[in-house]
Structure 1
Amino acid sequence: MRVWHQLTDFVQRHGAAALITVHDVKGSAPREVGARMVVRPDGAFHGTIGGGQLEFRMLDIAREMLMAGRGPARIVDQALGPDLGQCCGGRVKILIETFDGRDMEDLSGLTEAEAEGGLFELECRLEDGRVKRDFASAVGDDRWTGWRETHGEARTPVLLFGAGHVGRALVLTLAPLPFAVRWLDDREGAFPSHVPPNVRAVRMRDPAAEIDGARPDSFILVMTHDHPLDMAITVAALRRDFPYVGLIGSATKRARFEKRFRELGLPEAKIRSLVCPVGLPGIAGKDPAVIAASVTAQLLQVREQGRLAGNLSPPAASNDR
Structure 2
Amino acid sequence: MSFDRASVTAAVARHGRVARVVVAGIEGSAPREPGAAMLVWDSGQSGTIGGGALEYEAAAEARAALAAGRDAVARKPLGPALGQCCGGAVVLVCECWDAARLETVFGAVVLRRVEGAADAPLPLKRAAVKARNAGAPVGTEFRNGWLLEPVARASRAIWIYGAGHVGRALVSVLTPLPDVSVTWVDTGPDRFPDDVPQDVTVLPAANPADAVRLAPAEAEHLVLTYSHALDLEICHRLLSHGFRAAGLIGSATKWARFRSRLAALGHAPEQVARIRCPIGDPALGKHPQAIAVGVAAEILSAGVSALDRPHYREDTA
TM-score (norm 1): 0.69
Name 2:205's counterpart in structure 1: 203
Q: What is the CA–CA distance in structure 2 between the aligned matches of 1:223 and 1:232, rounded to whole Å?
A: 12
| Deviations 1:4-41 (CA, angstroms, capped at 9, x unpaired) | 543565455xxxx5432211124432222222233345
| Deviations 1:114-134 (CA, angstroms, capped at 9, x unpaired) | xxxxx85212124678999xx
Q: What is the CA–CA distance in structure 2 between the aligned matches of 1:107 and 1:8, rounded to whole Å?
A: 13
> Tell me, what secondary structure is at the counterpart of 2:292?
helix
Alignment CA distance shift 1:131-1:240 (3 Å): farther
Give the C-alpha shift of residue 304 in structure 1: 2.1
Tell me if structure 2 keeps the 8 A contact 1:248–1:278.
yes
Give the C-alpha shift of residue 253 in structure 1: 0.7
Tell me if structure 2 keeps the 8 A contact 1:274–1:309.
no
| Deviations 1:49-85 (CA, angstroms, capped at 9, x unpaired) | 1132322333344455556x334x4322333345544
> Tell me, what secondary structure is at the counterpart of 2:49?
coil
Bigger CA drift: 173-182 or 220-229?
A: 173-182
Q: Quick check: 1:312 aligned with 2:309?
A: yes
What are the ranges of 5 or more consecutive residues in structure 1 without an aligned counterpart?
114-118
Q: What is the CA–CA distance in structure 1 between the aligned matches of 2:185 and 2:10, rounded to whole Å?
A: 28
Name 1:116's counterpart in structure 2: none
Alignment CA distance shift 1:260-1:60 (3 Å): closer
> Tell me, what secondary structure is at the counterpart of 2:300?
helix
Q: What is the CA–CA distance in structure 1 between the aligned matches of 2:65 and 2:306, rounded to whole Å?
A: 49
Q: Quick check: 1:125 aligned with 2:113?
A: yes
- What one-letter code is carried by the residue in structure 1 that aligns with 2:285? A
Tell me if structure 2 keeps the 8 A contact 1:20–1:95.
yes
Name 2:45's counterpart in structure 1: 45
Where do residues 262-301 of structure 1 align in structure 2 (5 Å cutoff)?
262=263, 264-268=266-270, 270-285=271-286, 290-291=287-288, 293-301=289-297
Name 1:161's counterpart in structure 2: 161
- What one-letter code is carried by the residue in structure 1 that aligns with 2:294? Q
- What one-letter code is carried by the residue in structure 2 that aligns with 1:303? I
| % identity of equivalent residues | 31
Alignment CA distance shift 1:216-1:304 (3 Å): farther
Tell me if structure 2 keeps the 8 A contact 1:238–1:245.
no
Name 1:106's counterpart in structure 2: 100
- What one-letter code is carried by the residue in structure 2 that aligns with 1:276? C
Name 2:139's counterpart in structure 1: none
- What one-letter code is carried by the residue in structure 1 that aligns with 2:232? M
- What one-letter code is carried by the residue in structure 1 that aligns with 2:11? Q
- What one-letter code is carried by the residue in structure 1 that aligns with 2:25? D
- What one-letter code is carried by the residue in structure 2 that aligns with 1:279? G
Give the C-alpha shift of residue 212 in structure 1: 4.6
Q: What is the CA–CA distance in structure 1 between the aligned matches of 2:23 and 2:41, rounded to whole Å?
A: 18
Name 2:11's counterpart in structure 1: 6
Kindly tell me the number of residue pairs found equivalent between the two proteins: 289
Q: What is the CA–CA distance in structure 1 between the aligned matches of 2:257 and 2:226, rounded to whole Å?
A: 17
Tell me if structure 2 keeps the 8 A contact 1:273–1:309.
no
Q: Quick check: 1:150 aligned with 2:150?
A: yes
Q: What is the CA–CA distance in structure 2 between the aligned matches of 1:150 and 1:308, rounded to whole Å?
A: 23
Tell me if structure 1 keeps the 8 A contact 2:223–2:248.
yes
- What one-letter code is carried by the residue in structure 1 that aligns with 2:111? E
TM-score (norm 2): 0.70
Larger Rg: 1
Q: What is the CA–CA distance in structure 1 between the aligned matches of 2:94 and 2:118, rounded to whole Å?
A: 10
What are the ranges of 5 or more consecutive residues in structure 2 without an aligned counterpart?
121-127, 135-143
Alignment CA distance shift 1:78-1:189 (3 Å): closer
Q: What is the CA–CA distance in structure 1 between the aligned matches of 2:290 and 2:41, rounded to whole Å?
A: 35
> Tell me, what secondary structure is at the counterpart of 2:284?
coil
- What one-letter code is carried by the residue in structure 2 that aligns with 1:57? E
> Tell me, what secondary structure is at the counterpart of 1:107?
helix
Tell me if structure 2 keeps the 8 A contact 1:272–1:310.
no
Q: What is the CA–CA distance in structure 1 between the aligned matches of 2:76 and 2:225, rounded to whole Å?
A: 52
> Tell me, what secondary structure is at the counterpart of 1:282?
helix
Q: What is the CA–CA distance in structure 1 between the aligned matches of 2:316 and 2:219, rounded to whole Å?
A: 22
Name 1:77's counterpart in structure 2: 75
